[in-house]
Amino acid sequence: EEYRLRSCVDFKPYEGETSYISFTKLSGCWSYVGDDKVGQNVSIGARCDTKSIVQHELLHALGFYHEQSRSDRDDYVKIWWDQIEEGMEHNFNKYEDDFITDLNTPYDYESIMHYRPLSFNKNESIPTITTTIDYFNNIIGQRLDFSAVDITRLNRMYDCANTHTLLDQCSFELINICGMVQSSIDNADWVQTLSSPNDTDHTLVGRCRDSGYFMKFDTSSGEPGSSALLESRILYPKRAEQCLQFFYKMSRVAGDKLVLWVRSDDGTGNVHINKKIQTITGDGDDAWKVAHVSLKLKNKFRYVFQGIRGSLTSLGAILIDDITLTETVCPNAIWQIKNFPNLLNTTALGSSLTSKCFYNSEGYSFGLRVYPNGRLPGYPEYLAITFHLCSGENDAVMEWPAKNRQVTIIAMDQDPDARLRMSSTRSFTTEGAGHQIYWNRPTATSGALWDADCSCYRGKDTGWSTFISHTHLKSRSFLKNNDLIITADFNGTK
């Protein structure tokens, strides 16, 4: 899905083609470079089964070499040949530009194709590769996601004009507001508004003069029930599943409403069949929040935001910003943790925050724990995240143990451009024999613990002690508005 979101490159199940990729669990993580026209293995060996490593190996198969193999690499990094493990020197080969091409892009320290400083090293703490600019020694070898330059190169190599699954996105920075239109059947308007100290935008968090716009519906005047409608341009889906993500703020007094509608094709080519999808009621919390709304539309449509003034005492506004519409499935769970930098400063090693319990589409209930300053003594500079099952209303009819299901957890990079996000993603598949302690039905007799806050049993935790480093967490837009956003899925494997 990451390739589909960011490029025109796609993969399909094998149907006898001469060119194909076979994912195998051999020794290590590796792939041949380019298409050999006879089919080839991509090894996803032990400890290789993370999203970023699979992305890395697939880029090899698509024709990309390591970043430090460029002909101009000596201007940017130094290779310490005497520190390289014997027999592994070939991994640091440099190639001339008549053999590999940089596609007219600059050297990219942030590339997912770059080695880490300690790659193939003889001595545990002595690097084999260092950068000419010291700052980037902590950047090279990142395994979060594609970099912006990685995406540029991929799209240039394969002449991509569009992506497969990105239908629409808008941060309202341009005067045309991404082709969105004001409705003629309402009694108020949404207004494109420049960020101010009182109302900061979500895109730039009010940090830039003359930039940072959002859409605003003023609820401080007018009759209760007065509303404003903002419609997207007409969109043409290729799949029957979409996820609309957006950020919203409902300030001051509780009670104002933000309603999401869709207008779809009536079968004659006209887009005017209305369907209410979701209503969000303001709770008086004057902060940006994230929403994910599932759509299931097969024909052309518009999505519509309706702001409604709640009462005569409404004194605030409804704000929306940073919309992303993809042809993907929305996550099962969204956990937005407020004021996370303060938690980093005040939470002790081994102490955790616990989410509410969520439900997946099958009916299983699950929860998450976040350890801001590490779960284990050896990793205080890392955020740890664990997953557990919760007892729930559907347990009597669910399959136990809950094996052969995939857990995917994402710490979200809140970049407004979905193609440039470098979120941290981890996943694993639940197992059966020997692991029932994690996947059995959570009860008093299965080792689960009662939690009065949810009036439920919470099962044993499993997860990652090094989910993301504090260095990476404080980079990019993981903590925009001081919020950490985590999404989670718990789905059956195909």
Question: For 2-157, which CATH class?
Answer: alpha beta
Q: Which CATH architecture has domain 333-492?
A: Sandwich (2.60)
Domain boundaries, the chain: 2-157, 166-326, 333-492
Catalytic residue, chosen from 57, 67, 110, 231, is 57
pLDDT for the residue 184: 82
pLDDT for the residue 114: 97
Binding residues for Zn(2+): 56, 60, 66
Q: Using H for helix, E for strand and C for coil, what is the string for the chain?
A: CHHHHHCCCCCCCCCCCCCCEEEECCCCEEECCCCCCCCEEEEECCCCCCHHHHHHHHHHHCCCCCHHHCCCHHHCEEECHHHECCCCHHHHCCCCCCCCCCCCCCCCCCCCCCCCCCCCECCCCCCCEEECCHHHHHCCCCCCCCCHHHHHHHHHHCCCCCCCCEEEEECCCCCCHHHCEECCCCCECCEEEECCCCCCCCCCCCCCCCCCEEEEEECCCCCCCCEEEEECCCECCCCCCEEEEEEEEECCCCCCEEEEEEEEECCCCCEEEEEEEEEEECCCCCCCEEEEEEECCCCCEEEEEEEECCCCCCCCEEEEEEEEEECCCCCCEEEEECCHHHHHHHCCCCCCEECCCEECCCCCEEEEEEECCCCCCCCCCEEEEEEEEECCCCHHHCCCCCCCEEEEEEECCCCCCHHHCCCEEEEEECCCCCCHHHHCCCCCCCCCEEECCCCEEECCCEEEEEEEEHHHHCCCCCCHHHCEEEEEEEEECC
pLDDT for the residue 435: 66
Low-confidence ranges of the chain (pLDDT < 70): 432-435, 494
Is 166-326 assigned to CATH 2.60.120.200?
Answer: yes
pLDDT for the residue 381: 95
The question of whether 124 is a catalytic residue gets the answer no
